[in-house]
């Protein structure tokens, strides 16, 4: 009897862990857009840093990211338990912010390209490591909040224990995945230089290939991350509005077009409102002529 009870308990635990793994996988898919942007943003944070300081900075930001998530997970769970009606509005706010951030990136690329080209080369600009780390951790807090809220939205109907398990699982996977991959990305050029100096033709070719691939990977992550932000943000907003959700379901494989279009539209609208408000604030605080 005790042995049978133990086996039943182990079976229940295995089933629960399997369910949590499935829900964590679903939540990971939902946060893929933020993940792509997270990778690009954090890889860019170590640009201009001395080669030997890249990994220590990545580790410092990863530590800050873990602290961010340790704060955000219980805060998100408290909201879901004490004020569950706020989860969907928070989710939609996160979606709108994603769309805004994506639109802002596109706007910067299109209309501020010249000013970036006129800037000093990064290798001659003094780097303040503490400020870089603080800025990266602040950015991570926003992206982590989006990941946690989106993940919470996928398990809102589950028990508190399962919500906690999924959020912790997502936090661990995202932190290790993002910063592990960032560490690899920032060292691709070093690996390229290392192999390029080898006498063997194969290693020389591999080194040149890595040196050519590294900047292209960064550009791809930036573009893919921006598109994914529109898709994920637009999808969140579409799901939150019944009429749009029904339209999305009726479109089938073309639903992504709706999500992308809605993401760009909402992102542009929020971008315009933010800049109008900033304009009037500047006018209100500027000294009288």
**pLDDT classification of 148: cutoffs 50, 70, 90:** confident
The top-scoring range by mean pLDDT among 44-58, 177-191, 266-280 is 266-280
Distance CA 22, CA 234 (A): 24
pLDDT of amino acid 3: 46
What are the tens digits of pLDDT across the range 75-124?
A: 989 988 888 888 788 878 888 988 998 899 899 888 875 444 444 444 44
**pLDDT classification of 146: cutoffs 50, 70, 90:** confident
Distance CA 234, CA 254 (A): 13
What are the tens digits of pLDDT across the range 189-229?
A: 888 888 998 888 898 899 999 889 888 887 787 787 788 78
Percent of the chain with pLDDT over 90: 15
Distance CA 245, CA 93 (A): 17
The top-scoring range by mean pLDDT among 16-25, 101-110, 136-145, 221-230 is 101-110
Distance CA 183, CA 65 (A): 14
- To which residue do tokens 């530590």 refer? 63
Residue ranges covered by each domain of the chain: 24-285
pLDDT of amino acid 68: 92
pLDDT tops 60 at residue 5: no
What are the tens digits of pLDDT across the range 150-180?
A: 788 777 777 888 888 888 888 888 888 888 8
- Torsion, Cα of 80, 135, 43, 146 (10° steps): 10
User: CA angle 52-53-55, nearest 5°?
Assistant: 95
The top-scoring range by mean pLDDT among 28-32, 152-156, 266-270 is 266-270
């Amino acid at each position: 009897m005790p042995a049978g009870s133990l086996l039943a308990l182990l079976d229940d635990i295995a089933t629960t862990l399997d369910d949590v793994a499935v829900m964590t996988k679903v939540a990971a898919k939902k946060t893929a857009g933020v993940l792509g942007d997270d990778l690009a943003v954090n890889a860019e944070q170590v640009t201009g840093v001395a080669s030997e300081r890249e990994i220590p900075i990545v580790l410092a930001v990863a530590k800050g990211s873990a602290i961010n998530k340790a704060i955000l997970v219980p805060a998100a769970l408290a909201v879901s338990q004490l004020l569950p009606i706020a989860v969907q509005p928070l989710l939609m706010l996160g979606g709108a912010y994603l769309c805004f951030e994506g639109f802002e990136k596109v706007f910067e690329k299109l209309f501020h390209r010249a000013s970036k080209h006129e800037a000093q080369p990064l290798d001659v600009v003094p780097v303040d490591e503490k400020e870089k780390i603080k800025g990266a951790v602040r950015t991570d807090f926003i992206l982590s909040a989006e990941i946690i809220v989106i993940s919470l939205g996928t398990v809102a109907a589950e028990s508190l224990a399962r919500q906690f398990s999924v959020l912790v699982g997502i936090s661990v996977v995202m932190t290790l995945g993002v910063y592990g991959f960032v560490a690899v990305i920032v060292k691709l050029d070093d690996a390229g230089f290392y192999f390029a100096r080898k006498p063997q033709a194969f290693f020389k070719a591999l080194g040149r290939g890595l040196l050519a691939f590294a900047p292209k990977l960064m550009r791809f992550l930036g573009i893919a991350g921006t598109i994914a932000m529109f898709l994920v943000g637009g999808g969140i907003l579409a799901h939150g509005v019944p009429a749009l959700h029904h339209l999305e379901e009726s479109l089938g494989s073309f639903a992504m077009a709706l999500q992308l279009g809605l993401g760009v539209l909402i992102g542009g609208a929020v971008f315009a409102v933010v800049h109008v408000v900033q304009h009037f604030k500047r006018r209100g605080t500027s000294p009288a002529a």
